[in-house]
Amino acid sequence: MTQETLFLKNTETFAESLARCGVKYHFAYPITPATDVMKRMAVILPQYGGEMMQMESELAVSSALAGAACTGTLVATSSSGPGLTLMHEAIGFMCAAELPCLMFDSMRVGPGDGDIIGAQSDYFVATRGGAHGDYHVIVLAPASGQEIADIMPHGVRLAYKYRTPVLFVVDGLSAQTTESTTLPAYNDYSAEFDTSDWAYTGTQDHPKRALITGSYSHQDGYEMNEMLRAKYEKIYDNEQMWEAEQVEDADLVIAAFGIHGRMCTDMVAKMRAEGKKVGFIRPITLWPFPDRAFAALPDSVKNILVVEMNHGQMIDDVRLAVNGRIPVHFLGKTGGDMPMCTLAEMIAEANRILGE
């Protein structure tokens, strides 16, 4: 496929981006608002010599994903909150087994089965994990169709460089947004990485390999966990990503990811035009959380306003990042017909804090 600009739903953009970056196999189970990813994959993957396989449950999805990932092949899945919950068994397995894969979570409101209305309520489950043990997945939060397409090669490289699952989280509203996106020409980014020293492909070209994620001696278990700890520290040090604007002289900084992060550009432009010193930080990696962006904030910053489409989840990470140095406020909304904070509400809250 050559580069082209298409008017697509962002779920479809996600599918196109996966396929154009080298994903060969996609495993999924239908769930709103993520189903369009698997539908498009079913159509396009055969053109790339691959296949979308619909499984009978998300438990089976993530298990098949792990079985396919262990061959070194670039594989992916797509789901939404309740599906992600079920997938965690094998996500934890893939972290322990150091298997690369790409995952997409179109976040909706919960808990329980929740509602199909878009939200950002999966922040905790994405960044803290839903499986047992000390592990992390790299979490990327693109804020537009274009960013999904632009960031995908980086996502593949992270998955293979660190041999780990990489999870993209997009709120259900952004996932359902239709917009123009310039998609890259086909390139299999996983081919940059040699998997021959770890893939489980039979003993033709290597002595027996056994993928054991449980420990057969306490020493083995200790060593596996220490190895993972060192890897996560490296990712934490090297892979923080964020977008920041006009924080250098700001009184107030907005912190928001995804759709609310995208709205910050307009918000800051409007408030700056009124002479108000407002800037924003939009985390792009949710794990590792971009602590450095907050550590670098100047002393002029008197307050931080966190805006989320949930009851306050990322706010915990912002508070940890500033460690009491700056007061942190929250604005959030979920569910209902209008599940997000409007620009007017965000500006009103910012003005209220500035007036305090």
Partner 1 sequence: MENLSAKYGKTLNLDKLTSYCPGCGHGIVTRLVAEAIENLGIMERTIAIVGIGCGGFSHHYMDIDAIEATHGRAPSFAVGYKLTRPDNIVFTYAGDGDTSAIGLGDLLHAANKGMPITTIMVNNTVFGMTGGQMSPTSLEGQVTATTVKGRDVSKQGYPLLVPELMRAMPGVKYLARETVATPKGVRKTKKSIQKAFDCQVKGLGYAFVELIVPCPTGLKLNVKGSYERCGKEMTDYFKPQVFKDETEQGHVA
Binding site for partner 1 (CB under 8 A): 24-25, 27, 51, 53, 55-57, 59-60, 63-71, 73, 75, 89-90, 93, 200-204, 207-214
Give the phi and the psi of residue 107 in degrees, each rounded to 5: -70, 135
Q: How far is the CB of 254 from partner 1 (least distance, A)?
A: 41
| Nearest distance from C-beta of residue 286 to partner 1, angstroms | 25
Q: Please tell me whether residue 311 adopts helix, strand or coil conformation.
A: coil
Tell me how far, at minimum, the Cβ of 44 lies from partner 1, in Å.
17
Q: How many CA atoms lie within 13 A of 37 on its CB side?
A: 35
- Cβ atoms < 10 Å from Cβ of 192: 13
Tell how far CA 346 is from the center of its chain. 24
How many Å apart are CA 263 and CA 180, to the nearest integer? 17
Q: Which of 280, 285, 281 is nearest to 240 (CA)?
A: 285
Query: What residues are paired with 166 via a beta bridge?
Result: 102, 138
Q: Which tokens hold the place of 218?
A: 């306490």
Pure H helices in 216-333: 218-238, 258-273, 291-295, 314-322
Pick 36 or 58: Cβ nearer partner 1 = 58
Strand partners, 180: 7
Instruction: Pick the closer one to partner 1 by CB: 41 or 328.
Output: 41
**Identity of the residue, 54 or 146, whose beta carbon is nearer to partner 1 in the bound complex:** 54
Closer residue to partner 1 (CB): 58 or 291: 58
**Residue 217 CB, nearest approach to partner 1 (Å):** 13
CA 307/CA 315 separation, integer angstroms = 8
CB of 205 to partner 1, least distance (A): 9
Closer to partner 1 by Cβ: residue 90 or 267? 90
Cβ of residue 280: shortest distance to partner 1, in angstroms?
41
CB of 32 or CB of 201, closer to partner 1: 201
